[in-house]
Structure 1
Amino acid sequence: MAESAAASRPPPDVDGDDCLREYRHLFSPDILAGQVAFITGGGSGIGFRIAEVFMRHGCRTVIASRNLQRVSEASKKLVAATGQQCLPLSIDVRQPQTIAAAVDEALKEFKRIDILVNGAAGNFLCPASALSFNAFKTVIDIDTIGTFNTSKVLFEKYFRDHGGVIVNITATLSYRGQALQVHAGTAKAAIGGKFAEEASQFDMIPLQRAGNKTEIAHSTLYLASPLSSYVTGTTLVVDGGSWLTSANNFPALLDFWAAGVNKNQ
C-alpha cells in the first residue's frame, strides 16, 4: 500500500516559468542524449517544463513561439539549469513561412531534429454564446491548423528522409506520432487553479488532486523516447483517471469563467 501511495505522489514542481529547484531522474539521464527537440510553445507553461525535462535527459532543444523575448529569457534559464543547448526562435504556427524559416535555422544550428512537440495553443474557457467568431477562429488556427502546419513543414524538411517523433499536446496528428491528452483535471492552471481547488473540483478525480507540469513532461518524455519505440498513433490520457469517473460539470465551468480565471493565464 505504501508503494502504491508513493507511485501516485506528484513529483516536485514550481509555479511560473522557472526551472525545478531539484530533479531526480526516473529514466536514464542520457535517454535522449544526442537528440534535438523542436518545441512550439516552449517558452512558458507545460512547454517550458517539457523542454527542461528533455534537456535534463541529454536533449538539445529549440523552443519557439511568437514572443521572441519570452523564449530568449526561457532559454537562458534552461541552459543555466541543465547545461544543454537551447535555441530560442520566433514563429507563428499559423504562418507556414515562419515555421519553415525557424526549422531551417534550427537545422543550420544543430544539423538534425529528432522530436517535434506541438505545444503551441490558444484556449478560451467560456460558453459558446460568449465566444467571438475571431476567438474561435484563433483557437482552431493555432491548436489544429498550427499543429498540422508545423508537422508538415518538419516532415518535408527533415522527417521524411530521416524519421522522427511527433508528440501533440494540442491536437491529434500522427507520424510515428503520439498525442498527449491533457484533461481538465491535469494542470491546475487549466481549470482555474486555486479557484477549482477551493471549490473541491478535484474531489471527483480518482487521484484526488490536480496534476502538475512535471507529470505532463514525464509523459511526453516517455512518448518521445526509445521506451515507446513500438507505440504510434495513440493517445495517452494523463488526467488522474478523471475521464473514467467525471462527467462534464457545466455549472462549475461557468463559475470558473465568471470568476475570470482566463485573465490570469
Structure 2
Amino acid sequence: MSGSVSSPFQPNLLAGKTALITGAGSGINKGIALHFARHGANLVLVGRRQEKLDETAAEIAAMGGKALGCSADVRDYDALAAAAAKGADTFGPYDIVIAGAAGNFIAPASQLSANGFGAVIDIDLKGTFNTFRAGSEHFAAADVSLIAISAPQAVNPMPLQSHACSAKAGIEMLIKTLALEWGPKGVRVNGLSPGYVADTVGGNLFMGGDGGATLKQRIPLQRVTNVQEMAEMALMLCSPVSAYMTGHVIALDGGVSLVGAGAWQG
C-alpha cells in the first residue's frame, strides 16, 4: 500500500480485514479510514454526503486500497443497516466497526430547544448504537474490534454543552455495556476520546478568536492534537497490542480531561 504518512505499525497490520466507519467523509473519521487503508484494510465508508464519501474512496483507491462509500444517516437504522449489509456483501464480514458520526454546537441550556438537544442525542448516542447494532449482523466469527468516538465532555461537565455532555456520557456507558454483553462472542468494545483536534469542525468550534492560543495555554501539553494522532491510536485499539482490552476509553487529549471545563471558557 502506497502512502506518504509514516507509522510505527507494520504496513500490512490490517491486511484482509474489513472496517465499517461512520462519519467517514471528513475529519477524524476520514483520517482513520485513510490510515486503515494504508495498513491494508478494506473500508466501508458511511456518511450523509455521498460526494464526500466518494472523495475519500478515491483517495484510498489512489493508494492502491479498496473502499465503498454508502450514503446513510446514522439516525435512520434501516438505511444504516442496508449500508452495512452492502459493505459486508462487497468485502466480507466486519472485523472492525467505528462509530464516529457526531454533531455539536455551542448553546446555553436556557436557549437550547428540545429539538436541538434531541438532534445531538440522536446523532451521537443513538447513532453509535445504530452503527454497532447494524454492524453486529455481519461481524466476523472472532476477534472483532469496535470503537466509539467519545469526548472529554463525557466525564467533565462543560458550560454551553449540556447536549454533547449528555450524549457522550451515554456513549461511554454504552461502550461498557456492550463490552460485557459481546465479550463472550469475541467482540471488544472500546472508545477513543479526542481532545481538541486541529482542522476539524469539532476542534474549530472551540478555538476562539485567537486561533486557539489561549486554549493551548490551558492544556497541560500546551498544544492541540491532530487527525493523524487520532488515527494511530484507533489503529492501536484494533491491533493485537489491545487484544485483552475492552470496555475502556482512551483519552488522547493532551491532559485536557485533567483540567475539565477550565480549558475552554466560552
TM over 0.5: yes
**Is there any run of 5+ residues in structure 2 with no aligned partner, and where?**
151-170, 180-187
Q: State the alpha-carbon separation in 2 of the partners of residues 201 and 213 from structure 1.
A: 18
How far did 1:84 drift? Answer: 0.6
Whether the 8 Å CA contact 2:218–2:262 is kept in 1: the answer is no
Q: 1:214 aligns with which of 223, 228, 245?
A: 228
Q: 1:192 aligns with which of 201, 206, 210?
A: 206
Q: State the alpha-carbon separation in 2 of the partners of residues 119 and 221 from structure 1.
A: 14
Q: 2:19 aligns with which of 5, 30, 37?
A: 37
* 1:88 partner amino acid: G
Runs of 4+ in 1 over 4 A off after TM superposition: 160-163
Match of 2:41 in 1: 59
Match of 1:100 in 2: 81
Whether the 8 Å CA contact 1:49–1:217 is kept in 2: the answer is yes
How far did 1:163 drift? Answer: 4.9
3-state SS of paired residue (2:20) = strand
* 1:226 partner amino acid: P
TM-score (norm 1): 0.80
Q: State the alpha-carbon separation in 1 of the partners of residues 233 and 9 from structure 2.
A: 11
How far did 1:160 drift? Answer: 7.7
How far did 1:234 drift? Answer: 0.4
How far did 1:107 drift? Answer: 1.2
Match of 2:246 in 1: 232
How far did 1:140 drift? Answer: 0.2
How far did 1:78 drift? Answer: 2.4
Q: What is the CA RMSD across the aligned residues, in angstroms?
A: 2.1
Whether the 8 Å CA contact 2:45–2:53 is kept in 1: the answer is yes
Distance 1:111 1:159, change over 3 A: closer
How far did 1:158 drift? Answer: 2.1
How far did 1:134 drift? Answer: 1.2
How far did 1:186 drift? Answer: 4.1
Match of 2:147 in 1: 167
Q: State the alpha-carbon separation in 1 of the partners of residues 135 and 126 from structure 2.
A: 14
Whether the 8 Å CA contact 2:206–2:212 is kept in 1: the answer is no
Q: 1:119 aligns with which of 90, 97, 100?
A: 100
* 1:40 partner amino acid: T
| Offset from partner CA, 1:74-127 (integer Å, 9 cap, x none) | 2112221x2110100011111111111111111110122110000011111222
**Is there any run of 5+ residues in structure 1 with no aligned partner, and where?**
1-19, 255-265
Q: State the alpha-carbon separation in 1 of the partners of residues 47 and 210 from structure 2.
A: 28
Q: State the alpha-carbon separation in 2 of the partners of residues 217 and 239 from structure 1.
A: 13
How far did 1:161 drift? Answer: 4.7
Q: State the alpha-carbon separation in 2 of the partners of residues 141 and 219 from structure 1.
A: 26
